[in-house]
Amino acid sequence: MGVVNVTPDSFSDGGRWLDPDLAVARGLQLLEEGADLLDVGGESTRPGATRPLVVEELDRVLPVIEALVAEGAPVSVDTMRSEVAAAALERGARMVNDVSGGLGDPAVLDVVADADAAYVAMHWRAHADVMAGHARYDDVVADVVTELGQRVDAALAAGIDADRLAVDPGLGFAKTADHNWALLRRLDALAVLDLPVLVGSSRKSFLGTLLASADGTPRPALEREDANAALTTVAALAGVWAVRVHEAGKALDALRVVERWLLPEDQEGPSA
């Protein structure tokens, strides 16, 4: 899943693709690099971010979605608003990637069900401006699995078929770096939900902290790609359905390594 941020304030590339033409070009570049799906979002969810007006979010994402769909691109809309989800699906998006799992706007579940679209429910506890205060868990892995299961139940109750659902543990959302690492070590715990798993670690702050310089300065967001490629390898070996990335080429290289690693010996040819 290739990230197309049509925002002025995203933590990693805010403003770079705010112009619709640049965003479309970026999406097509990600497809050329090997992305299978483009995730177009118009609201930054970085820690501390304030929300745009609904009309602002619509104005940001709809022209980009329309243009990418016209080019034949498979598109997901990254939104937690039912109005934005409905408009995006009407314009050809195939999936709603909802970081709130339906908690931000419960009507989004009905929109997805009515459109017979796919849906990703992410683990979430609060909006970006206050989520840091909600990073308290008895057992982060068990709590995330339980709370995600509740969101899955809500999606099913709304009429979204199980074969159109996926889940995301929500790395960085109301979670400390230690919480993120605990979840990555235990991705297998999500198997109890019996749904495809999406992992979005790309460029996040816990990688910047891990790669900090000697004086403690976090590694800049645009310089975390190699570390994320390593995490892509780990996630793929854990059997996840998809990884959400800013650079599709490096992620695909990692996935090719995993694919070759897992190839049964009896399928190896002389050139394999």
pLDDT per residue over 78-122, tens digit each?
Answer: 999 999 999 999 999 999 999 999 999 999 999 999 999 999 999
What's 233-252 look like in SS3? Answer: HHHHHCCCCEECECCHHHHH
> Are 197 and 171 in contact, with CB atoms under 8 Å apart?
no
Backbone angles phi, psi at 114, to 5 degrees: -65, -30
Using 50, 70 and 90 to split pLDDT, how confident is the model at 67? very high
Kindly tell me if the per-residue pLDDT of 9 is higher than 70. Answer: no
| Beta strands 118-122 and 95-98, pairing class | parallel
pLDDT for res 46: 73
Kindly tell me if the per-residue pLDDT of 228 is higher than 60. Answer: yes
Reported as half-sphere exposure (CB side, CA atoms, 13 A), residue 136 has a value of 3
pLDDT for res 11: 53
pLDDT for res 229: 92
Pick the closest to residue 152 from 142, 138, 163, 141 (CA basis).
Answer: 163
- CA 171, 173, 178, 179 dihedral sign is negative
Share of the chain above pLDDT 70, in %: 94
Known catalytic membership, residue 91? no
pLDDT for res 128: 82
| Beta strands 75-78 and 165-168, pairing class | unpaired
Backbone angles phi, psi at 125, to 5 degrees: -125, -25
Using 50, 70 and 90 to split pLDDT, how confident is the model at 219? very high
Known catalytic membership, residue 244? yes
pLDDT for res 44: 82
Using 50, 70 and 90 to split pLDDT, how confident is the model at 263? confident
Kindly tell me if the per-residue pLDDT of 198 is higher than 90. Answer: yes
pLDDT for res 129: 84
Kindly tell me if the per-residue pLDDT of 243 is higher than 90. Answer: yes
Q: Which residues are 41's β-sheet partners?
A: 5, 78
Mean pLDDT of all residues in the chain?
92
Taking the complete model, does pTM exceed 0.85, yes or no? yes
Q: Which of 204, 219, 224, 250 is catalytic?
A: 204
Q: Which of 151, 175, 224, 244 is catalytic?
A: 244
What average pLDDT does this structure show over 152-159? 98
C-alpha distances out from residue 144 to 174, 177, 181, 193, Å: 11, 15, 13, 11
What average pLDDT does this structure show over 145-164? 98
DSSP 4: E
Kindly tell me if the per-residue pLDDT of 74 is higher than 70. Answer: yes
Kindly tell me if the per-residue pLDDT of 267 is higher than 90. Answer: no
Question: How would you label 28-59 residue by residue, b for 16+ Cβ within 10 Å and e otherwise?
Answer: bebbebebebbbbbbbbbbeebebbebeebbe
Distance, CA of 35 to CA of 4 (rounded, Å): 11
pLDDT for res 86: 98
